[in-house]
């Protein structure tokens, strides 16, 4: 029974509209390009063959003959949202639902070598929920096991097909700070040693070249770190305490090829100028403002704004909770950063900057600048038509395209909401209403 | 209680004199039911009128170009600007472009019993040693220095909250309702006159925690254990009722049964952690079986499936806007839950259960409102504010004192710098009992807990 239900749902999902061969012109809407600029009134976006052909103010963009015309007056149009970090698609249910959860690498003897792409389930409910709210791409990586390395993350799309991977091996995730210390036996020093060992083995460096292999990492793990030390794959590092960030930047001086991304950075604002000088982009949770741990004593919602003011590239995501299912709320978090511009003493960001934090900035961190998260010629045609301002709580996605293919916005939640719109007993039990 | 007073006031009467003749019929000696009473005292305020603002009165009403007058700790007047006579004694705040609401009340918080930082030394919310710990009172876990209280005030406009024990146990213990005013002791924070609550739990948590510790290990075990406790409570209640009426041998006191007896007597309110519709229906039936009522279901992720049952029972649903799927019993969560419950005429509450969520309950309500409107349910913003103050106050038994802007009620008031259903809006000022305890313009009106003193970030905007 349950298997039949899942199959039926899957069939409904893949029955989304086919790609439109003709160009599509979306006109008259308020246009958010995603590149940090302010929204444009009365904009035009042209999609063709899965790519953006043009986007800009009416008059600056030629509408091709024969284009399908979509009137977006009174609406907003934006690139699909990019979740800067999440675990959507890795778990259906997070607790005591055996077999439905691939969100952590658990007891695997491997760590850095784990490739998340084999765990992504595009039919998972959280993918459908994210898609229905305008999230079209996500950076995903599993949670750690008992090593500081958490494996090779990917960029995925949220489309209703079975090919979710946009870029495999898009980054390597590693934990320092409190979390890393816990995995490395209890101390921060231990976690740094473990990181250093992985990097040096991957470089075939010094003593590590000739000694017998007593590594905590497997051969596969070390192989996975080779492109990291060459700077071909970004190293995403979780650290929060100000001095942990400084130490990371110091460590990076020794491995100059590293392409770092900092995640967490609860106290990043205390060392914002140093992060900016190192050119390291940061993923933060904008609303983190409690001393939830001893490495977040100085947490404040002005963290993101102060780092932006110092010249740091900042992306915004819910990263401390509900990673498997919260990507759709990143736009709320970004909106909260705009709210701070009206609170005395706080440092907020502009609307355009906030929107870039959930579109182009996370894309750029993993080498996909101009490819996703932006309405610009040549970018993938991930487009959302919104009922209103996409950072507002009362707005919702009305239509979503991924690679130019219009997507179904149906999911388990919409089906449940329809079934139970009215609780009254009907001619047949609720089980017959779908 | 009454019987002892009557008897001691009439010692000379023959009934009492006769009763005193043998030691089995001594006058009943009763115990203080409220030994840890509130010592809260409101802080001083100044007579204040906010003019020109949009007012949500908390009862579903909206006043454009309105005015709210607070003085002596209470609301003195609410109306249009023309209705309130401003005198020279009053501080006048121009609220043009701003909104005034009753303070938000969160019915489900763990501030204080799971405080920040969330280290194991601070883990005081679940007495997970027995499936029935009705004997614990969570006020004895509340750490008044939790830095989370100040965030809830300054960012969330939260003026009162219920701290609940966790849901590991079938009976988790007594809750406590607090004013969100810093105190040195928990008694200084206790909401004066608020009834106690008792946290109950059904579903996954108790069976997961006790499955390999002697049970319950199943949902049917949860129910059997809970019913057994009510059977014992009724026997205890009868024994004490008899003693209070007739004297005689004093029954042994049992802290857990004291609390369950308080429920059966209608003095303590049940707040029942329950997700699934079918389980909520069983718990409502159990309440009928043993003669008590359920004030609220907490989390109530599937309330939308049984809105009719909840309306008939008069039971509130305290809900998140959109949490779902983090465990099996939350799998069917939908963002329309709050709006569906409201639309059916049942009592809807937006709650947090989270030290971050409590800072944005207005935003959560906005999401819930929007989800309802997408399904064609027209609920005004003023009506939806009931989810944040009036309905929470009703479920906690404090609606006579707070939860709406009405003359004579506590002046628990928030002035927002815009429409509080917008993501771009924050509290500008927050009053509790007429005392200005947060002012966005004034760093001196920004509470800093002991824990934060001398730490990085002390006194920063949060």
pLDDT digits (tens, 9 = 90+) for A318-354: 999 999 999 999 999 999 999 999 999 999 999 999 9
pLDDT mean over A273-279: 98
pLDDT in tens, A35-90: 999 999 999 999 999 999 999 999 999 999 999 999 999 999 999 999 999 999 99
Among B308, B331, B441, whose Cβ lies nearest the Cβ of A344?
B441
Q: Is the pLDDT of residue A284 over 50?
A: yes
Q: Is B31 on the interface with A (CB under 8 A)?
A: no
Predicted local confidence at residue A210, as pLDDT: 63
Beta-bridge partners for A289: none
pLDDT score at A434 = 85
State the pLDDT at residue A213: 64
Which residue intervals of A255-345 are DSSP H helices? Answer: 272-278, 303-310, 330-339
Q: What is the pLDDT of residue B85?
A: 86
Best mutation target, B307, B321, B334, to test chain A (most A CBs within 10 A): B334
Instruction: Calculate ∠ Cα A68-A70-A74, nearest 5°.
Output: 170
Q: What is the pLDDT of residues B291-337, one digit of tens each?
A: 999 999 999 999 999 999 999 999 999 999 999 999 999 999 999 99
- pLDDT of the residue at A109: 94
Of A125, A293, A344, the CB nearest to B440: A344
Low-confidence ranges of chain B (pLDDT < 50): 1-22
- Beta strand A76-79 pairing with A40-48: unpaired
* A20 and A85 belong to one structural domain: no
Residues 6+ apart with CB under 8 A from B166: B110, B113, B114, B125, B126, B128, B172, B199
Q: How confident is the model at residue A4 (pLDDT cuts 50, 70, 90)?
A: very low
Question: Residues B85, B87, B90, CA angle at the centre, nearest 5°?
Answer: 110
Interface of B with A in 104-133 (CB under 8 A): 116-119
* Same domain, yes or no: A396 and A280: no
- Beta carbons of A93 and B451 less than 8 Å apart: no
Give B117's contacts in chain A (Cβ within 8 Å): 291-294, 296-297
What CATH code would you report for B103-403?
3.20.20.140
Q: Which of A97, A291, A340, A395 to mutate to test the interface with B (most CBs of B within 10 A)?
A: A291
Q: What is the pLDDT of residue A212?
A: 60
Mean pLDDT of A390-412: 98
Q: Give dist(CA A288, CA A34) in Å, integer.
A: 24
Nearest C-alpha of chain A: how many angstroms from B113? 14
From A242, which residue of chain B is nearest by alpha-carbon distance? B456
Compare CB distances from A96 to B208, B308, B455 and report the shortest one's residue. Answer: B208
Query: A70 and A97: one domain?
Result: no
Whether residue A333 is found in the same domain as residue A411:
no
Which pair of tokens denotes residue B107?
């019915």
| Residue in B closest to A420 by C-alpha | B305
Domain that holds residue A396: 2-78+390-419
Of the listed ranges A128-132, A213-217, B138-142, B371-375, the least confidently predicted one is A213-217
Residue A95 inside a domain? The answer is: yes
Band (A216; pLDDT cuts 50, 70, 90):
confident
Is position A378 within any domain?
A: no
User: Which pLDDT does position A19 carry in this prediction?
Assistant: 56
Q: What is the pLDDT of residue B25?
A: 58
In percent, the amount of chain A with pLDDT more than 90 equals 90
Instruction: Say whether pLDDT at A172 is over 60.
Output: yes
Largest Cα–Cα distance in chain B? 75
State the pLDDT at residue A423: 84
By DSSP bridging, strand B48-56 and strand B62-71 are antiparallel
Residue among A285, A331, A339 with most chain B CBs within 10 A, to mutate: A339
Does A174 share its domain with A209?
A: yes
Q: Is A318 inside any structural domain?
A: yes
- Give mean pLDDT, residues A19-28: 86
Across chain A, mean pLDDT equals 94
Q: Which residues contact A233 (CB under 8 A, 6 or more apart)?
A: A152, A169, A170, A171, A172, A227, A259
The verdict on residue A187 lying in a domain is yes
Cβ pair A390, A110 in contact under 8 A: no
The whole-number pLDDT of residue B16 equals 40
Counted domains in chain A: 2
In chain A, what residues touch B460 (CB-CB under 8 Å)? 298, 300, 302
Over residues A193-211, the pLDDT tens digits come to 999 999 999 998 766 666 5
Residue A49 lies in a domain: yes
- Across the range A284-288, mean pLDDT stands at 98
Rounded to whole angstroms, the Cα distance separating B344 from B336 reads: 12
Residues A197 and A322 in one domain: yes
pLDDT of residue A21: 74
Residues A6 and A152 in one domain: no
CA atoms within 13 A on the CB side of A50: 5
Beta bridge partners of A406: A401
Label residues B363-374 b or e (16+ Cβ within 10 Å = b). Answer: bbbbbbbbbbeb
| A102 assigned to some structural domain | yes
Task: Name every chain B residue with its beta carbon within 8 A of the beta carbon of A343.
Answer: 417, 426, 440, 461
A303 and A409 share one domain:
no
Of B304, B423, B460, the CB nearest to A393: B423
- Per-residue pLDDT tens digits for B145-193: 999 999 999 999 999 999 999 999 999 999 999 999 999 999 999 999 9
Q: Are residues A233 and A353 in the same domain?
A: yes
- What pLDDT, on a 0 to 100 scale, did the predictor assign at position B86? 86
The span from the CA of B263 to the CA of B286, in Å, is 13
Which residue in chain A has the smallest CA separation from B149? A290
Cross-strand pairs, A81: A135
Shared domain for A336 and A236, answered yes or no, is yes
Q: Is residue A240 part of a domain?
A: yes
CB contacts of A346 in chain B (<8 Å) are: 461
User: Which pLDDT does position A205 carry in this prediction?
Assistant: 73
The Cα B404–Cα B401 span in angstroms is 9
In a domain, A101, yes or no: yes
Q: Is the pLDDT of residue A121 over 80?
A: yes
Q: What is the pLDDT of residue B17?
A: 38
A195 and A92 housed in the same domain = yes
H runs (alpha helix) in B109-254: 148-154, 204-210, 219-246
Q: Do B340 and A393 touch (CB under 8 A)?
A: no
**What pLDDT, on the 0 to 100 scale, is given for residue A424?**
85
Q: Does A258 lie in the same domain as A310?
A: yes
Q: How far is B66 from chain A (nearest CA, A)?
A: 23
A307: domain CATH number is 3.20.20.140
The confidence score (pLDDT) of residue A95 equals 95
**In the block, residue with structure tokens 């007891």:** A107
Domain residue limits, chain B: 1-30, 103-403
pLDDT of residue A142: 95
């Amino acid at each position: 029974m349950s298997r039949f239900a899942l199959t039926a749902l899957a069939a409904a999902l893949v029955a989304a509209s086919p790609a439109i061969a003709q160009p599509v012109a979306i006109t008259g809407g308020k246009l958010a390009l995603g590149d940090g600029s302010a929204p444009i009134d009365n904009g035009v976006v042209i999609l063709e063959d899965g790519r953006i052909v043009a986007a800009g103010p009416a008059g600056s963009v030629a509408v091709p003959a024969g284009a399908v015309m979509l009137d977006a007056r009174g609406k907003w149009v934006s690139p699909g949202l990019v979740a800067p970090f999440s675990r959507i698609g890795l778990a259906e249910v997070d607790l005591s639902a055996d077999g439905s959860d691939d969100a952590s690498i658990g007891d695997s003897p491997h760590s850095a070598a784990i490739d998340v792409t084999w765990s992504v389930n595009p039919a998972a409910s959280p993918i459908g929920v994210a898609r229905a709210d305008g999230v079209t791409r996500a950076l995903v990586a599993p949670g750690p096991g008992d090593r500081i390395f958490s494996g090779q993350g990917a960029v995925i799309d949220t489309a209703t097909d079975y090919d979710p991977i946009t870029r495999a091996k898009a980054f390597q995730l590693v934990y320092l700070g409190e979390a890393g210390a816990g995995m490395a036996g209890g101390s921060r020093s231990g976690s740094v040693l473990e990181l250093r060992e992985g990097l040096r083995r991957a470089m075939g460096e010094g003593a590590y070249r000739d000694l017998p292999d007593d590594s905590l990492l497997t051969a596969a793990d070390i192989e996975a770190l080779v492109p990291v030390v060459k700077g071909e794959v970004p190293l995403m590092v979780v650290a929060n305490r100000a001095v942990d960030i400084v130490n990371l930047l110091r460590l990076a001086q020794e491995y100059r090829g590293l392409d770092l991304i900092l995640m967490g950075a609860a106290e990043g604002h205390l060392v914002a100028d140093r992060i900016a000088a190192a050119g390291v982009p940061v993923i933060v949770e904008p609303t983190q403002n409690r001393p939830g741990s001893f490495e977040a004593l100085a947490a404040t919602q002005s963290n993101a704004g102060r780092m932006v003011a110092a010249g740091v590239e900042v992306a915004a995501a819910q990263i401390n909770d509900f990673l498997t299912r919260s990507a759709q709320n990143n736009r709320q978090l970004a909106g909260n950063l705009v709210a701070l511009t009206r609170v005395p003493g706080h440092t907020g960001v502009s609307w355009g900057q906030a929107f870039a934090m959930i579109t182009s900035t996370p894309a750029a961190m993993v080498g996909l600048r101009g490819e996703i998260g932006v309405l610009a010629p040549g970018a993938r045609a991930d487009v959302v038509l919104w009922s209103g301002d996409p950072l507002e709580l009362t707005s919702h996605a009305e239509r979503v395209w991924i690679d130019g293919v219009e997507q179904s916005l149906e999911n388990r939640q919409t089906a449940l909401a329809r079934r139970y719109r009215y609780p009254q007993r009907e001619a047949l039990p609720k089980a017959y209403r779908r | 209680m009454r019987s002892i007073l009557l008897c001691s006031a009439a010692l000379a009467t023959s009934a009492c004199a006769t009763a005193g003749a043998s030691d089995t019929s001594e006058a009943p000696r009763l115990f203080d039911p409220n030994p840890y009473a509130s010592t809260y005292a409101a802080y001083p305020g100044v007579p204040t009128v906010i003019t020109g603002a949009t007012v949500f009165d908390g009862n579903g009403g909206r006043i454009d170009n309105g005015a709210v007058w607070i003085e002596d700790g209470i609301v003195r007047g609410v109306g249009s600007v023309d209705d309130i006579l401003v005198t020279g004694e009053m501080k006048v705040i121009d609220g043009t472009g701003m909104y005034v609401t009753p303070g938000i009340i969160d019915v489900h918080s763990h501030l204080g019993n799971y405080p920040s930082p969330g280290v194991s030394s601070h883990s005081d919310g679940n007495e997970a040693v027995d499936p029935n710990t009705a004997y614990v009172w969570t006020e004895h876990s509340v750490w008044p220095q939790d830095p989370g209280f100040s965030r809830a005030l300054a960012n969330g406009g939260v003026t009162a909250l219920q701290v609940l024990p966790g849901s590991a146990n079938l009976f988790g213990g007594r809750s406590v309702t607090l004013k969100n005013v810093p105190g040195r002791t928990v008694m200084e924070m206790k909401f004066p006159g608020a009834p106690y609550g008792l946290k109950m739990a059904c579903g996954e948590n108790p069976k997961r925690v006790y499955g390999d510790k002697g049970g319950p290990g199943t949902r049917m075990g949860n129910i059997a254990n809970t019913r057994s406790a009510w059977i014992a409570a009724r026997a205890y209640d009868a024994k004490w009722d008899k003693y209070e009426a007739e004297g005689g041998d004093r029954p042994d006191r049992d802290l857990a049964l004291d609390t369950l007896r308080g429920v059966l007597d209608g003095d303590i309110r049940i707040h029942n952690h329950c997700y699934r519709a079918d389980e909520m229906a069983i718990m409502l039936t159990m309440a009928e079986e043993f003669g008590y009522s359920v004030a609220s279901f907490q989390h109530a992720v599937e309330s939308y499936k049984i809105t009719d049952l909840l309306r008939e029972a008069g039971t509130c649903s305290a809900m998140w806007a959109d949490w779902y799927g983090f465990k099996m019993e939350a799998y069917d969560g939908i963002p329309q839950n709050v709006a569906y419950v409201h639309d059916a005429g049942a009592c809807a509450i937006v709650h947090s259960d989270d030290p971050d969520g409590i800072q944005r309950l207005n935003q959560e309500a906005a999401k819930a409102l929007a989800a309802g409107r997408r399904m064609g349910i027209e609920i005004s913003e003023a009506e939806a504010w009931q989810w944040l103050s009036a309905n929470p106050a009703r479920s906690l038994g404090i609606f006579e004192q707070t939860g709406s802007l009405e003359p004579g009620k506590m002046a628990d008031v928030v002035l927002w710098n815009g429409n509080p259903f917008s993501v771009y809006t924050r509290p500008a000022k927050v009053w509790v009992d007429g005392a200005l305890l947060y002012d966005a313009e004034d760093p001196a009106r920004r509470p800093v807990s002991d824990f934060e003193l001398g730490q990085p970030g002390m006194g920063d905007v949060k």
